[in-house]
Amino acid sequence: MFNLKLAQNILFFTKRLVFICIFLCFGSAVYAQNISVPENIQAALLTKVLKYNPQIPQNSEIKILVVYNNNSLLDKDEFIKGLGSSMVVKAITPKELEGNISNFDVVYFMKGINGFSKICRDNKVLSVTATTRFVEEGEISLGFGIENSKPKILVNLTSLDLEGQSFSSDILRIGKIFK
């Protein structure tokens, strides 16, 4: 009887310990994935990073399309405000992208908007996103994530090459690179 009671207690505490370990390991990983760089900081970083792209004209105003949907209206405004007056900005919906892209240097996709990388590649326009997963998966060339509680530049080299874009080694050295 004593051994049965001891075995039950050990089993009970083992289950609790396993649950706590799972919660700590996976709970923090899921939480970290939901943290994104605020739009105004992404905009400020983007204006700096574009100076290291030789395909973007530096002697004239950079033209950027901001692609948004109903879920990203407020974020779109924050992003555009963060750009300041350093760029010519046009905000459009995804269905307007194909008709507008040819006159622009950069396309910034608000969080959650995807499936348009072929248009950027066909037009040799740099794609940028608020969704880090799309950079990791190679759909978008440039993004910004959080690493050690600080903003991190994310670059997908394969996507960058398909868009006919590049960055100087200065950016590649400090960024997180995906292939």
Output the CA torsion 99→104→107→110 (10° steps).
-70
Per-residue pLDDT tens digits of the chain, which is 179 residues long: 556 666 565 555 554 444 444 444 444 333 334 458 999 999 999 999 999 999 998 888 999 999 999 888 888 999 999 998 889 999 999 999 999 999 999 999 999 888 999 999 999 999 999 899 999 999 999 999 999 989 999 999 999 999 999 999 999 999 999 99
Q: In angstroms, what CA-CA distances link 169 with 51, 127, 166?
A: 12, 19, 9
C-alpha 165/C-alpha 55 separation (Å) is: 6
C-alpha 33/C-alpha 116 separation (Å) is: 23
> CATH topology for 39-178?
Rossmann fold (3.40.50)
Q: What are the residue ranges spanned by the domains of the chain? A: 1-34, 39-178
Contacts of range 8-11, beta carbons closer than 8 Å, 24 or more positions apart? none
Copy the structure tokens of residue 128. Answer: 């940028």
